[in-house]
Amino acid sequence: MDNKCWICGKQEPMMFTCRHCGKTFCSDHRLPERHACEDLDRNAGYSSGTSGTSGNYNRSNTGGQAYGPEMDDVIKNMMKDAARTAAKGAATGAVHRTRSSISTSPSMAIIFICIISFFLELIPGYVDFFQLVPNTIFLKPWTLITHMFLHASFGHIFFNMLVLFFFGRELERRIGKDMFLYVYFISGVVAALGYALTSSVSYHPMVGASGAIMGVFATLAILAPDMQVYVYFIPMKIKYALLLFVLLDFTLIGAPDMIAHTAHLSGVLVGLYMGIRIRNNRKQRRRAEYDPRRW
């Protein structure tokens, strides 16, 4: 057996035999990468602990799984597919939930229509055709309804829809969908008539769902007077919040703030009437159900 280094010819007391090519080397050339081992590329089970990747790719000594550019591309494609699937699933779920809420909740359907209408207001003539003007009510009677789906600004629609989102759905739960729609639209129509009859300038238009929403709020205040609400982050019972809003509207009647305060108050009157009527009807039904004379 040759005891000289195959590279430099040096002899040492302890020589090393390469397990890949089988040749003998000194301590300086014992590592495969130090003597340009010919069988290193053919042995896929070896990877240097210091140099990283050998050849086109490495293999794990234990699992035999390839790592390198090819595997990186596979992992990236898997991640992209997973992200696309997750995004598609989230979008599909959001659309499904939106459709479901619109079809099952009148409040959500009204909110959706108002949002669509807000963008349609960019069309020339759209607002003029659907807004309520006191001196043209008999010429355009549909405006008694359509004015509720128009809003003058983003802040206007945002706060109206925010109130409707919370209190409209709560009223739906308590009185049912059909009765909710009755309260909402009757309040809105009476609010429009109240504004038309009290407006000092008959050609000033009115838009917004505030009158109808105030009717919803007042009805809920009658049915659940102790329900806790927040007014400008201040907690109070809903009956006190309604009283505060009514006092503000009374105080600001005639103020040059472009707000139809008389429409708000008209909607409140309808809501109070409807709330009292619904509450009394429920009491009568309960008395009739538990009347001992029926037995």
pLDDT at position 73 over 70: no
Half-sphere exposure of 198 (CA within 13 A, CB side): 17
Which residues is 24 bridged to in the sheet?
A: 17
Kindly report the average pLDDT of the chain as a whole number: 83
DSSP of 114-178: HHHHHHHTTSTTHHHHHSB-GGGTTT-TTHHHHGGG--SSHHHHHHHHHHIIIIIHHHHHHH-HH
Q: Please state which of the ranges 31-40, 65-74, 210-219 shows the lowest mean pLDDT.
A: 65-74
pLDDT tens for 197-211 read: 988 777 889 999 999
**What is the average pLDDT across 29-57?**
57
- CB-based contacts of 140, cutoff 8 Å, min separation 6: 129, 133
- Residue 100's pLDDT is 73
pLDDT in tens, 153-186: 999 999 999 999 999 999 999 999 999 999 999 9
- Euclidean distance between CA atoms 20 and 217, whole angstroms: 86
- Tell me which of 50-59, 106-115, 206-215, 248-257 is least confident: 50-59
- Tell me the average pLDDT across 31-55: 57
Q: What pLDDT score does 75 carry?
A: 64
Is the per-residue pLDDT at 289 higher than 80? no
Who contacts 42 (Cβ-Cβ below 8 Å, separation ≥6)?
Answer: none
Closest CA to 248 of 279, 214, 225: 214
Query: How far apart are alpha carbons 227 and 222 in whole angstroms?
Result: 10
pTM: 0.67
Structure tokens at 159: 């706060």
The residue among 54 and 278 whose pLDDT is bigger is 278
Residue 22: phi, psi to the nearest 5? 80, 5
pLDDT in tens, 243-288: 999 999 999 988 888 889 999 999 999 999 999 999 999 988 888 7
pLDDT given at position 87: 72
